[in-house]
Amino acid sequence: MTRIVHTFDNPQRFIAGTVGVPGERTFFLQARTDQRIVSVSLEKQQVALLADRLTELLDQVARAEGIDIAYFGPADLEPLDNPIQEEFRVGTLALGWNTGSQQVVIEAHATSESFEDVPDLEEDADYGPDVLRVRLSAAIATAFCSRAQAVVSAGRPPCPLCTEPLDQQGHICPRANGYLRRG
């Protein structure tokens, strides 16, 4: 099957967001330019890992190349843009720094049978998993990280004993010898 590459160079909006209530949320990456919107679903841990690794990459770039990565614009607190139509489920994430364009490159590849199916960063192979490719300035990537970290941490509060997420009904806490622990 031919690969679909959804490319966004400096999109008007690139965010991590959720649909649903804490404990039952679906996480999305969404890119938008004008009326074109692409949404891909992924795991909460993937969003957290992407934000962490992207923050590390930006810190390395700032030190090595002397680039200002601070974002001084308004925080994007708006929900995901509608319609939210999942293009694919993310299996592999890749990121890098393009020195020539001075941009962060983020690729979210669809789930595939093997990691060998995933082409190298910014490679436009004819076959392989579909991909959402986004190129951002360092400052906009910093804003993405801030929002992604806030979205991840906005879930259920942790149990004070075992740090597992608490449901509204509580949870069976291993540190309380299997008794139901309420928030």
pLDDT digits (tens, 9 = 90+) for 56-71: 999 999 999 988 899 9
Return the higher-pLDDT residue of 73 and 16: 16
In the predicted model, is pLDDT for residue 44 greater than 60?
Answer: yes
User: pLDDT value at position 115?
Assistant: 65
Enumerate the β-bridge partners of residue 131.
5, 109
In whole angstroms, give the CA distance from residue 17 to residue 25. 9
Q: How far apart are CA 133 and CA 31, in angstroms?
A: 9
pLDDT interval class at 183 (50, 70, 90): low
Max mean pLDDT range (34-43, 68-77, 106-115, 126-135):
34-43
pLDDT tens string 4-43: 999 999 999 999 999 998 888 999 999 999 999 999 999 9
The answer to whether 32 and 81 have CB atoms below 8 angstroms apart is yes
Fold of 5-156: Secreted effector protein pipB2 fold (3.30.2450)
| Location of structure tokens 């690969």 | 3
Domain parsing of the chain, residue ranges: 5-156
pTM: 0.85
Flag the least confident range among 23-27, 37-41, 130-134, 164-168.
Answer: 164-168
Distance of CA 180 to the CA centre of its chain: 33
Report yes or no: 105 and 95 within 8 Å, Cβ to Cβ. yes
Sign of CA dihedral 45, 92, 137, 85: negative
Crossing angle of helices 44-65 and 138-153, rounded to 10° = 150
